[in-house]
A and B are shown apart, each in its own frame.
Chain A
Amino acid sequence: MEFNIDDLPVLFPYPRIYPEQYAYMVDLKKTLDAGGNCVLEMPSGTGKTVTLLSLIVAYQQYYPEHRKLIYCSRTMSEIEKALVELRALMKFRAERLGHEEEFRGLGLTSRKNLCLHPSVKREKSGAIVDARCRSLTAGFVKEKREKGENVETCVYHDNLDLLEPHNLIPNGIWTLDGLMRYGEEKKQCPYFTARRMMQHCNVIIYSYHYLLDPKIAERVSKDLSKDCIVVFDEAHNIDNVCIESLSTDITQDSLMRATRGAQNLEAKISEMKDSDQEKLQSEYEKLVEGLKGLDEGRQEDAFMANPTLPDDLLKEAVPGNIRRAEHFVAFLRRFIEYLKTRMKVRQVISETPPSFLAHLKEYTFIEKKPLRFCAERLTSLVRTLELTNIEDYRPLQEVATFATLVATYEKGFLLILEPYESDTAKTPNPVLHFTCLDAAIAIKPVFDRFSSVIITSGTISPLEMYPKMLNFETVVQESYAMTLARRSFLPMIVTRGSDQASISTSFQVRNEPSVVRNYGNLLTEFARITPDGMVVFFPSYLYMESIISMWQGMGILDEVWKHKLILVETPDAQETSLALETYRTACCNGRGAILLCVARGKVSEGIDFDHQYGRTVLCIGVPFQYTESRILKARLEFLRETYRIRENDFLSFDAMRHAAQCLGRVLRGKDDYGVMVLADRRFMKKRAQLPKWINQAFLEANTNLSTDMAVGNARAFLKQMAQPFSAKDQEGVSIWGMEDLKRHQEKMAEDMIVELKTAREEEERERKRREEEERRRFEEERDRVSDYEMDEDDEAEMMALDARIG
Chain B
Amino acid sequence: MTNPAYQDDEHYVAPFSEDTQFGELKDSAPAAKYRPSVTGWFGILVVGFWILIAVLGPFVAPYGENDLPFPDAYSEFQVPQPGAWLGTDVEDRDVLSRLLFGAGRTLGISITATVMAYFLGVVLGIGAVVAGPRVDLILSRINDAFLSLPTIMLGLVVVAAVGSSIPVLILTAGFIYTTIVFRLARSIGMEIVVMDYVEAARARGEGLWWIVTREVWPNAALPLVSDFGLRLIVVILFISSLSFLGLGVQPPQADWGSMVRENLGALQYGASVVPVVAPALAIASLTVGINLIVDDVSAGAGGKLAKRM
A and B: real partners? no
Residues of B within 8 A of A (CB): none
